[in-house]
Amino acid sequence: DLLAQLAANMPQAVQVTPEEREAIER
C-alpha cells in the first residue's frame, strides 16, 4: 500500500500507532 511505503520512508509516519495504521488501511 502507498501508506505503508510512505510510513517506511517517513519516520514521522511511524509515530502512528499500529491500531491507527489498521484503521487507515481500512
Q: Cα separation of 11 and 24, whole Å?
A: 17
Q: What is the pLDDT of residue 1?
A: 79
User: How many independent structural domains does the chain possess?
Assistant: 1
pLDDT per position as a tens digit, 1-26: 787 887 777 766 556 777 887 888 77
The pTM assigned to this predicted structure is 0.29
Burial tier of 26 (Cβ tally within 10 Å: 0-12, 13-18, 19+): exposed
- Residue-number span of the structural domain to which 2 is assigned: 1-26
